[in-house]
Structure 1
């Protein structure tokens, strides 16, 4: 496999259309109707201007990670690499860059959610040394019932 040349940079509001198109191209990816709208993703980026990352290759965005923090913990959302660009270290490099950005902001721990059916993603995080927590349950409460998750076929 030839060495891939990619550029990592901080995600900007203007990246939304290309990042959203990437999300929509990923098999099994879950997109929320309101949280993942253009307005709300741009608001997220404004709130966390230095922690979300994109990977660019061949003149386009081929990877993305939404990353933010609440002053105590960081969280990764929608980590993905286009299927044609996987196995080049892009996902790992994006995660490391996002974690370094969180460290600069004084954040000491990062969380993420991976669907149990996402074998590829779960394997990726385990191989990166992330801890699978068996001692916790994850709960959520929907404040807006119109904010539904739709999974890409």
Structure 2
């Protein structure tokens, strides 16, 4: 089984390097990505569609009316749980990231470099809790999880996210 990652985008057209995203994502294994376009007014949705057309493990959800980050994550989670058999489900909202440090390319690179740790998230949670959480209840912040593990990645270490 795989781990799903939901990434929320809103007006990020200028920050998305399509070819870089495609190259990095194609190197991930056992990760299913759901790129959620939260009613962008620019060309973000078209960029995300291009990426999904080139990568087998990428889906796009297009939200036509702007929603809060929590609602956008829930829309992505519903899509992922209906379409894939996943161990766990993580999320990242680009609105809450400090992308001035090498932009979204660094985010995608951090996911690729730490995919094994991300895939092991559900194992760690299950060990600590002795109960099996539903996919929605085990939703986790990918960046917060990587920060907690003290991953040696400059992009992750520079993030100061607010919690949902």
TM score, norm. by length of structure 2: 0.30
Which has the larger share of helix?
2
More strand, by proportion: 1
TM-score normalised by L of structure 1: 0.31
